[in-house]
Chains A and B, each alone.
Chain A
Amino acid sequence: MGPNDIELMTMAKVAQDSAAFTELVRRHQARLRAFLRRLCGSDHLADDIAQETFIKAHEGLASFRGGASFRSWLYAIAYREFLQDRRREKAAARLKDALQNDAANMEPPGGAIEVGLSMDLRRALLDLEEAERAALLLCDAAGLSHSEASRVLNAPLGSIKTYIARGRKKMREALTGVAEQRPPRNETTQTETAANHKGVMYAL
């Protein structure tokens, strides 16, 4: 078994070991980017923020306090970067373009039911408020504890629980609505649509 995150952090911090930091990037990048992609709704923007997050983390190694987990520290940086990016007027315009491009270029990654679900999920997620979306993604998707999410979002524990409950309710309503309202597209896809409809209803 290799060194844990804290040991790698110590190696990167004290011994200036770039291989140790690269290992941390390798361990966390996929889930961090998945979190940011679902949070932003744009793959390109999410990857830019993820890259910036790792650079900031590398620059701020000295400020890391052993009390928190590396993961929650990293996600907190990522969330701050996301908020900063959102605040920038230019970034807002870029996000809009990217969202339009992504919506036009959405490629099915798997089977029909999975595709429908994933796209409905993405839309339902993007309709949530930012804090609700972030809390739901951190706790329900990425597997962080409520207290870790509280540190990441810099919000009280009670607020995190409220965000999650409210987010789940909105998602449930949105996905149920999608399943009930989705019209059959044409004859050849009716079976697929029915299966998709059934999949969403069954999942809920």
Chain B
Amino acid sequence: MPSDNIETLLRADFDDLAGRLENDRFVKRVQFKLTARNRARLGVIGLAGGLGAAFAASQFSDLGRLAAPYLAEALPSYSGGVDAATQLSAAVVLAAAVIVTALVLRQDA
């Protein structure tokens, strides 16, 4: 009764089982789990970026009003006056915030 027959039985059973497990969805599930944390992190960064930009935008009208005389001088052909200059400066700073957030997200992905 050679002991390596146990080995043969075990090996055959094991190979058969492993063969059946080769092509199921396990790899996909592990991949999903592994990326879940990263996805959550990106979500948090995106949310924080969005909130930060929104908060900053709420301050721009005051800043814009302060900068308006200079902007009006710099943009004489701009007929919008103070409000237009405020909107323009707010748009520029918002665009900068969006670009910075996008760069951070891109680096993290």
Contact = CB atoms under 8 A, between A and B. Distances in A.
Interface of A: 18, 21-22, 25-26, 29-31, 33-35, 37-38, 47, 50-51, 54-55, 58, 109-110, 114, 117-118, 121, 136-137, 140-143, 165, 168-169, 171-172, 175-176, 203-204
Given A29-B26, A29-B30, A50-B26, A38 B9 contact: no
B21 A203 contact: no
B3 A26 contact: no
Contact of A30 (B1, B6, B21): B21
B16 A51 contact: no
Interface string B8-31: 111101101111111000110111
A204 B1 CA distance: 6
Contacts of B21: 29-30, 33-34
A137 B14 contact: yes
B34 A121 contact: no
Contacts of B5: 203-204
Q: Which of the four size classes fits the interface of chain B?
A: 20 to 34
Contacts of A168: 3, 6-7
Q: Chain B contact residues: over half helix, strand or loop, or mixed?
A: helix
Contacts of A172: 1, 3, 6
Nearest to B11: A141
A176 B3 CA distance: 12
A141 B33 contact: no
Contact of B11 (A25, A140, A169): A140
| A interface SS class | helix
A47 B14 contact: no
Contacts of A117: 9, 13
B35 to A, nearest CB: 7
A169 B3 CA distance: 8
A34 B24 CA distance: 13
B13 A31 contact: no
B106 to A, nearest CB: 14
B27 A29 contact: yes
B8 A34 contact: no
Contact of B35 (A18, A110, A141): A18
A26 B27 contact: yes
Which 5 pairs of residues, A with B, have the shortest CB-CB distance?
A141-B14, A34-B18, A140-B7, A30-B21, A141-B10
A101 to B, nearest CB: 18
